[in-house]
């Protein structure tokens, strides 16, 4: 199902339109997703492991460093292009998309904005070239209350000693570089939170148990263990005690990536449902001939289009330097709802087959559930939207 370019609207006339260059980029990622990602999706889901060969192709195509400047080996693209890539990959396999999403909208994005010149020179070429990044904020007692961090960082001479445990860290099994948040001044509360760059082979740092998940199973989610982990002071990102600002602002941008993931997932489910409705016959006719099914498909298409436009709008606002936090929260909230609803209806259209693993819609339905949870639950998005509406 092709995306249409919307060129008019009541508030932001051109924010959801697509340039010719962006259309070409989108088309190339879509073709790659269909040719290379989709055929591997079921096996990767069953094994709970992402294909190393496919990951290498992500780097070769420049998908892991879309916004990284060319001087550091990246593609020198825009945030909007990141959104396009995430959306297209998600239609084939949301697990593939989240790997690209975290790399670009969280890790790379944070370093581009907050890292020192020396840190950029050291880490960005690796992140663009062949090293996966992970964003380590969550802990057992720190989910929606992201700043109730228990991981501590004690200053000792030329380094910090970090001790604690992180949970639910995406990309952790493959990552070589971790942007990790710890509290360097616990009595100061969230004002002590500091961001650190940690390499996988750092003494005292270890990737622990990998979670066995309901959905996006090929995307790794692991715990991280820090036991007297020595991190040089030059690996502090930004300023000591300003990690909360990095975390908040990066996650605000990352939520647009999740909206793109959920929008792509919904489009993939809709495409499967349309194809199946044309082929499946009951009472001597394709089920697509029945008005009840037509109405279901039409509503699904409306939902997907609305989610796409909301996501594009938020991404354009971000790229143009305009306020976007409310729009990002709205897009993430709505797209996650659409993904769950559309994939569920797709399962119903497939009937009994939809409930089996022989067809892909049950996987998309399972994958959709995470959209209401990670990078800010739906309730947290509603709270953000309400506060901004009311000026609180």
> How far from 141 is each of 13, 35, 39, 166, CA to CA, in Å?
43, 41, 38, 10
Bridging pattern class, strands 281-282 and 285-286:
antiparallel
Any catalytic annotation for residue 375? yes
Q: What value, to the nearest 5°, has the Cα angle with vertex 311 and ends 306 and 314?
A: 125
HEC sequence for 17-29: CCCHHHHHHHHHH
Mean pLDDT along residues 222-247: 97
Question: Which domains are assigned to the chain?
Answer: 20-132 (1.10.540.10), 134-242 (2.40.110.10), 245-390 (1.20.140.10)
- pLDDT computed for residue 144 by the predictor: 85
CA of residue 383 relative to chain centroid, distance: 21
Which pLDDT band, with edges at 50, 70 and 90, does 13 fall under?
Answer: very low
Res. 4: pLDDT tops 50: no
Instruction: List, for residues 190-234, the tens digit of each pLDDT value.
Output: 999 999 999 999 999 999 999 999 999 999 999 999 999 999 999
Check whether 16 has a pLDDT greater than 90: no
Q: Please classify residue 159 by burial: count the beta carbons closer than 10 Å to its beta carbon, then call 0-12 exposed, 13-18 middle and 19+ buried.
A: middle
Query: If phi over 0 gives left and psi between -120 and 50 gives alpha, with beta otherwise, what is residue 76?
Result: left
- Of 108, 93, 23, give the one whose Cα is nearest residue 63: 108
**181-204 burial, b if ≥16 CB within 10 A, otherwise e?**
bbbbbeeeebbbbbbbbbebebee
- The answer to whether the CB of 167 falls within 8 A of the CB of 223 is yes
Quote the CA–CA distance of 128 and 67 in Å, as a whole number.
Answer: 9
Q: What pLDDT does residue 6 have? A: 36
Q: pLDDT > 90: what percent of the chain?
A: 93
The confidence score (pLDDT) of residue 10 equals 37
* Residue among 132, 128, 244 at smallest CA distance from 181: 244
Q: Which of 31-35, 87-91, 146-150 is predicted with the least confidence, judged by mean pLDDT?
A: 146-150
Q: Which of 174, 305, 340, 375 is catalytic?
A: 375
pLDDT at 146: 77
What are the DSSP E strand ranges found in 267-368?
A: 281-282, 285-286
């Amino acid at each position: 199902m092709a995306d249409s370019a919307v060129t008019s609207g009541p508030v932001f006339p051109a924010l959801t339109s697509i340039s010719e260059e962006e259309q070409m980029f989108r088309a190339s990622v879509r073709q790659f997703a269909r040719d290379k990602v989709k055929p591997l999706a079921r096996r990767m889901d069953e094994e709970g492991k992402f294909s190393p060969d496919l990951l290498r192709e992500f780097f070769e195509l420049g998908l892991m460093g879309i916004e990284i400047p060319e001087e550091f080996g990246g593609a020198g693209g825009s945030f909007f292009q990141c959104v396009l890539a995430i959306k297209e990959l998600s239609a084939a396999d949301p697990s593939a998309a989240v790997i690209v999403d975290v790399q670009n909208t969280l890790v790379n994005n944070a370093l581009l904005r907050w890292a020192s010149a020396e840190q950029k020179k050291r880490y960005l070429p690796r992140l663009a070239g062949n090293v996966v990044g992970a964003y380590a904020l969550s802990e057992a007692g720190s989910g929606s209350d992201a700043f109730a961090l228990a991981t501590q960082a004690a200053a000792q001479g030329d380094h910090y000693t970090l001790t604690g445990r992180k949970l639910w860290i995406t990309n952790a099994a493959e990552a070589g570089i971790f942007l990790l948040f710890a509290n360097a001044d616990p009595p100061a509360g969230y004002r002590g939170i500091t961001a650190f760059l940690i390499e996988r082979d750092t003494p005292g740092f270890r990737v622990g148990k990998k979670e066995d998940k309901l959905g996006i199973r090929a995307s790794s989610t692991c715990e991280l263990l820090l036991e007297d982990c020595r991190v040089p002071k030059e690996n502090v990102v930004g300023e000591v005690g300003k990690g909360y600002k990095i975390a908040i602002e990066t996650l605000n941008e990352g939520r647009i990536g999740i909206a793109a993931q959920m929008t792509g997932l919904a489009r993939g489910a809709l495409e499967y449902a349309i194809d199946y409705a044309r082929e499946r016959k009951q009472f001597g006719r394709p089920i697509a001939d029945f008005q009840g099914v037509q109405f279901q498909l039409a509503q699904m298409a409306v939902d997907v289009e609305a989610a796409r436009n909301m996501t594009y709008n938020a991404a354009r606002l971000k790229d143009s330097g305009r306020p976007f936090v409310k729009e990002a929260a709205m897009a993430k909230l709505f797209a996650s709802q659409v993904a769950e609803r559309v994939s569920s209806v797709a399962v119903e259209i497939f009937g009994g087959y939809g409930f089996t693993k022989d067809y892909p819609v049950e996987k998309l339905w399972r994958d959709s559930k995470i959209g209401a949870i990670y990078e800010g639950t739906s309730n947290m998005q509603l709270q953000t939207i309400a506060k901004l509406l009311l000026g609180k």
